[in-house]
Chains A and B, each alone.
Chain A
Amino acid sequence: MKTFSVSHKTVIVVDHCPYMAESSRQQIECDMLTKSRAQGVIPLAPVSKSLWTCAVECSMEYLRILYDIYPARKLDMSAHRDILACTVLQVNYIVSDSEFHILNSWRQEDQSVQELMSALAAVGPPNPREDPECCSILHGLVAAVESLCKITEYQHESRTTLMDMAERVANRGRIICLTNAKSDTHVRMLEDCVLETIQEQNKLAAGSDRLMPIQQCELVLVHIYPQGDDTLVSDRPKKEISSVLNSEVHSVRAGRHLASKLNVLVQQHFDLASTTITNIPMKEEQHANTSANYDVELLHHRDAHIEFIKSGMHSIFVFDQCIPDCVCTGDLHMAGSTSRDSGLKETVTLKWCTPRTNSVELHYCTGAFRISPVDVNSRPSSCLTNFLLNGRSVLLEQPRKSGSKVISHMLSCHGGEIFLHTLNSTRSTLEDPPSISEGCGGRVTDYRITDFGEFMRENRLTPFPDMPVDAAGRAPFERAKAQLERHTRYWPMIISQTTIFNMQAVVPLANLIVKDSMTEDDLLTCQKTVYNLVDMERKNDPLPISTVGSRGKGPKRDEQYRIMWNELETLVKTHVGTSERHQQVLECISACRSKPPEEEERKKRGRKREDKEDKTEKNGKESEEKGWAPDSERLKGAIEREKEEQSESEVIKDSPDSPEPFNKKPRLATEELLSLEKSKGPVSLLSLWTSRITQANSRKHQEFAGRINSVNNKAELYQHLKDENGMDVHENGKATR
């Protein structure tokens, strides 16, 4: 596939000389209604189009189909292949009389039937009184060649993009000339003139930046003559005039014949094919409760039939039953080709298929091709197109003589454009794949599916056609990626990995903190969220902490809050660099999060203890008198546990049910424990374990110097103060409690 094929540039040259004002002699009765109502009214004479009118309306029809199927597209370096079949095709329209009139340019905005209609109206019909000697189609043909040399926006863009490979951008084109020639000799004269002009222009173009030499040109001469006349020009198939120029001649009667000729040409020139949708149920205006079946013929890129074309060849090969009629359609009768208009046209018949499909189904679709109805204004056509334009889709099935029904196509509308989709109807090579639940991560059952769904909704895309880049120079899709990055900085995938995302109370903060910029209000909301959490903690509200994986009831309440706060801090910390306000959220959390007065202290102690533990471990083997070689892993776990339990024991220390400590080692017999000892009660497993661990740990750290030197388990603190101002020892001791 080439982007810059002959079809990239088309110049239509229409003869505007006086003889084109001649009547086509095809009469049209306009005065239709008189038959039913009039008595004594003489019907008006029928009208007939001039050769000019025929040429113009048929060329407009050619363009209508072309622009429907290959609409003007915004400038970009996209070379689309066959699945959407949209190459960039451009048309230049020229009329020729005593001089040439170029009605549009290669520019994208000029590529529309409306623009051309307006320009044609300004030109008007040929003036029969103009001097025929000054008028010639040659002016137009010369202008056409010159126009082909002019570089299009696409060619320019491609050349600029390719830089030193600019020579890869080709310049080919086609000239369609609608004229009334005098004779075959006249036709040859026109061809020679075009060839000469190409050679001249190519020389000129070689030295210019805005011009390109023509590598290949296809000249399509259409000789139009009035009905009833004999043609003076003979048809001639494509022939090579020179290496740059091919030429073909079509001699056609004006009117209907010209229309169908140009319809055939537009199909040939732009690789189109025809599909007839059959069995379309349509309500009759008169009888609303009955419906008749109609057929509508559509044109589209021929790749929509690729499967038929190939299976046609296939049948010839496989079954070796080559019946001449079957060559194009294959033996499957799916293509149901019917030849009409004296064998010029072929169409594939597909059947309207009910029930319709719904829009939330994702079909495996191998191509989508814009369509154009052949008879755009007919009632069946407009019924079908309106039905589709309203957003509904229709599946199409291959008419088969027997066997199962095969749905091979779908008609569907996207944004005011109707597409013929090709659906895959053969066996899939991906059948019977292993289910996702059998693979990695397939056994995990508590994914945050709903949360990620919510995440996806927040990260849906929307077009920003008018905002190519933002202040930071990022295109919209880069901003979308940046947002995904921000939203996933801390995103636990499973429910049991997270606390905060299972809490409704955290939602406002979690939604705001991922934003690129926060307003003052956002900050306030975040702070409120934090205060709310503090409040919850004060009220001792339960937290949705997962108990998966941990034995028993899981961590205790204040430990839960500690986990929650930690997680919240982790989340906010990942965004702290985004802005000042993000930073403030973190500060708010740090300031508010629960740290019971003892906790800080305990943490420090814990840390020291761990340090010591490390040291002890190193000497562990030497210190045999301790007799208990610790399994370091288990010990770490135990320490963690001990920390938790220690806090637990602090919480319940005033309770009357507080257990008696199990072990009363003198070294550990603090006043606290002594006081507990007084309250009698059953010894719980917890206290047994606690004291055991405390005992184990106590062996592994150096005793506090004060305690070693203590008298009666009481150490004197701030002894130096006493020396200075003679404070009471006993009082100091109390103060420490």
Chain B
Amino acid sequence: MPTVVLMDASLSMTRPVSLEGSEEFQRKNLAVHGLTMLFEHMATNYRLEFTALVVFSSLWELMVPFTRDYNTLQEALNNLEDYDKTCLESALQGVSNIVQQEWGSTCPCQVVLVTDGALGIGRGSLRHSLATMKQRGEDKKFPLPFPFPSKLYIMCISNAEELQATDAMDNLEQLLTLSGGEGHIFTMDGPLCLKSVQAMFGKLIDQAYTPFHAVLRCGNLASDVQVFPRPEPVLLDDEVDPVPKAVLTELEIVGFIEIGDIASPPVLSRHLVLPIAVNKEADEVGAGTTDDMEEDTSTNQMAGKSPNFCVLLHGSLKVEGMVALVQLGPDWYGMLYSQADSKKKSNLMMSLFEPGPEPLPWLGKISQLGPISDALENPYGEDDSKSPFPVQPKNKRSYAQNVTVWIKASGLQTDVQKILRNARKLPEKTQTFYKELNRLRKAALAFGFWELLKCVAELLERECTLLPDSAHPDAAFQLSHAAQQLKLASTGDSQYAAFEHNITPMLTDFSGGGGGADRM
């Protein structure tokens, strides 16, 4: 989930903070201090996150495009200049554009807005934007909610009392609601100082940037992993089940499936699964001695050299072309697989399926997937030539079952012609003739289209009179038999118009002892 830091660079940010006895700080300095802390945290614990830095006043500027280089971000932060008044709307519009240009409109994004809560005055102020929101045309819509899924974190370099004194707090709350409600407004507790800004950004880090650690298990084999980006809780149905589902920290492999069988399934999100070395002893001791650093590097080296289950799993998944089905929570599953990027680097990846007992119709219910050893015979065949997947649905779809649709005249005409074409090739085509005839009969009965039955009966009778002398004698019998049956059906008489009833070929001396009828 990429992050956009939207930094207020208006003049009000240069307001000094009154501090007793120490050197004078501006609010901007506090903001920079907080962001520095955030960037440092990300550089060490969340370094795969892409972050962009945008500053705004009445105009906005993309200072650093999306990057994982936190030094660049820090440098830009240190060289901020001061500009004029606050105009949040155009800045949010800018954020919307930047994100969509980079990531499209389906990638979830976090926006960290850092401001002093002085949200401008007059035209372009947030108050003005919110007030005029409803009186705008399609082309001038307010940028929130963003077209992409987003979380909005508002970091106020001021305390709650200060914001509540004006309508700033109300406006910000309204902004958060507009954005879809995902996110939070953070304010500073107590006096404005380095300590309280640290506390505030600490809360943001806890809420949005703590790495997701889990244990990946396959029976007794296990590995500690970090899942990046961290999987977000999913809300299924706001009415029936309003509690979002979260991924458990215990990821348990259920079994394995061929890539061809899982067949490019739809997924909610994709995540890297990175093995990590958890040094529990170090955590417990944690005395902070001088040679801590040395120990750290040696631990890393050791970690590289000691076998890790993730690496084994990744290697085999890659070689075999398989995925591992993994349970993420109650009735929630995902898959692990090897993903190679263009540079031939490859990685263990996890995709999350839709929560639910049957995320993919072609696998059936996951809880009903069991080990092949339980089957009477290997469903993959002795030479891996078969597969139990895909699971076939109970009913065929319309396009797979030769349905009758006469909405367009051509549909009806084609069906009538098929019958006539076969009628002219009797008795060779006896079977197809009756098959098509019965199909038409059924549909005509269901649609209450008795007139059609009469019409086709007449057509068949006429075909009978038009038969050439060379025709097989059976043809005439079958045609008049079929015509008669259709006429009977068209009366609606329950004996002849039953839907399940089929017209069967007439038994004649020429039709080989009714063999044709048997085959019907």
Residues of B within 8 A of A501 (CB): none
- A463 and B220 contact, CB distance less than 8 A: no
Q: How far is the CA of A598 from the CA of B341 in the complex (A)?
A: 60
Residues of B within 8 A of A452 (CB): 312-313, 315-316
Query: Which one of B105, B219, B241, B404 lies within 8 Å of A487 (CB-CB)?
Result: B219
CB distance from A146 to the nearest CB of B (A): 24
Q: How far is the CA of A468 from the CA of B365 in the complex (A)?
A: 10
Q: Please report which residues of chain B, range 247-296, place their CB below 8 angstroms from some CB of chain A when the two chains form the complex.
A: 252-260, 262-268, 270-272, 274-277
Chain A, interface size: which category? 35 or more
Say which one of A137-145, A440-448, A538-546 lies at the interface with B.
A440-448
Say which one of A30-38, A267-275, A337-345, A630-638 lies at the interface with B.
A30-38
Kindly state whether residue A120 has any CB partner on chain B within 8 Å.
yes
Residues of B within 8 A of A480 (CB): 254-255, 369-371
- A462 and B372 contact, CB distance less than 8 A: yes
Say which one of B20-28, B74-82, B354-362 lies at the interface with A.
B354-362
- B448 and A50 contact, CB distance less than 8 A: yes
Q: How far is the CA of A327 from the CA of B201 in the complex (A)?
A: 41
- A484 and B147 contact, CB distance less than 8 A: no
Q: How far is the CA of A486 from the CA of B220 in the complex (A)?
A: 8
- B239 and A259 contact, CB distance less than 8 A: no
Contacts A33-B420, A124-B448, A436-B348; A441 near B307 (Cβ below 8 A): yes
Query: Which one of A32, A83, A437 lies within 8 Å of B354 (CB-CB)?
Result: A83
Query: Which one of A377, A389, A467 lies within 8 Å of B414 (CB-CB)?
Result: A377
Residues of A within 8 A of B365 (CB): 74, 76, 463, 465
Residues of A within 8 A of B349 (CB): 430
Q: Is the interface of B mostly helix, strand, loop or mixed?
A: mixed
- B270 and A430 contact, CB distance less than 8 A: yes
- B399 and A363 contact, CB distance less than 8 A: no
Residues of A within 8 A of B306 (CB): 440-441, 444
Kindly state whether residue A435 has any CB partner on chain B within 8 Å.
yes
Say which one of B34-42, B137-145, B167-175, B474-482 lies at the interface with A.
B137-145
Kindly state whether residue B305 has any CB partner on chain A within 8 Å.
yes
- A441 and B308 contact, CB distance less than 8 A: yes
Q: How many A-B residue pairs have CB under 8 A?
A: 493
Q: How far is the CA of A505 from the CA of B218 in the complex (A)?
A: 26
CB distance from B275 to the nearest CB of A (A): 4
Query: Which one of A417, A493, A494 lies within 8 Å of B361 (CB-CB)?
Result: A417
- A429 and B229 contact, CB distance less than 8 A: yes
- B236 and A427 contact, CB distance less than 8 A: no
- B420 and A365 contact, CB distance less than 8 A: no
- A72 and B395 contact, CB distance less than 8 A: yes
Residues of A within 8 A of B459 (CB): 30-31, 44
- A441 and B303 contact, CB distance less than 8 A: yes
- B397 and A416 contact, CB distance less than 8 A: yes
Query: Which one of B255, B346, B411, B416 lies within 8 Å of A459 (CB-CB)?
Result: B255
Residues of A within 8 A of B32 (CB): none
Residues of B within 8 A of A302 (CB): none
Query: Which one of B241, B370, B442 lies within 8 Å of A479 (CB-CB)?
Result: B370
Q: Please report which residues of chain B, range 67-103, place their CB below 8 angstroms from some CB of chain A when the two chains form the complex.
A: 93, 96-97, 100, 102-103
Q: Please report which residues of chain B, range 300-341, place their CB below 8 angstroms from some CB of chain A when the two chains form the complex.
A: 303-317, 319-325, 327, 337, 339, 341
- A28 and B370 contact, CB distance less than 8 A: no
Kindly state whether residue B449 has any CB partner on chain A within 8 Å.
yes
Kindly state whether residue B518 has any CB partner on chain A within 8 Å.
no
- B450 and A125 contact, CB distance less than 8 A: yes
- A57 and B406 contact, CB distance less than 8 A: yes
Q: Which residue of A lies closest to B378 (CB)?
A: A462
- B368 and A475 contact, CB distance less than 8 A: yes
Kindly state whether residue A29 has any CB partner on chain B within 8 Å.
yes
Say which one of B54-62, B385-393, B504-512 lies at the interface with A.
B385-393
Residues of A within 8 A of B265 (CB): 365, 368
Query: Which one of B104, B221, B327 lies within 8 Å of A426 (CB-CB)?
Result: B104
Q: Please report which residues of chain A, range 12-47, place their CB below 8 angstroms from some CB of chain B when the two chains form the complex.
A: 28-33, 38, 41, 44, 47
- B238 and A449 contact, CB distance less than 8 A: no
- A476 and B100 contact, CB distance less than 8 A: no
- B305 and A443 contact, CB distance less than 8 A: yes
Contacts A83-B266, A441-B311; A453 near B390 (Cβ below 8 A): no
- A460 and B229 contact, CB distance less than 8 A: no
- B240 and A79 contact, CB distance less than 8 A: yes
- A30 and B106 contact, CB distance less than 8 A: no
- B347 and A362 contact, CB distance less than 8 A: no
Q: How far is the CA of A488 from the CA of B222 in the complex (A)?
A: 10
Kindly state whether residue A49 has any CB partner on chain B within 8 Å.
yes
Contacts A30-B455, A421-B264; A377 near B405 (Cβ below 8 A): yes
- A463 and B448 contact, CB distance less than 8 A: no
* 18 A–B pairs (Cβ distance < 8 Å), ordered by A: A1-B237, A29-B409, A79-B237, A120-B448, A168-B240, A363-B264, A366-B267, A410-B264, A414-B360, A416-B390, A417-B393, A440-B276, A441-B306, A457-B256, A476-B374, A477-B327, A480-B371, A493-B221
For the complex of A and B, the 8 pairs showing the least CB-CB separation, nearest first, are A441-B308, A476-B370, A426-B104, A125-B448, A415-B390, A488-B219, A414-B362, A121-B499
Given contacts A433-B48, A449-B316, A453-B320, 6 further A-B pairs with CB under 8 A are: A86-B361, A359-B263, A365-B264, A427-B103, A452-B315, A488-B219
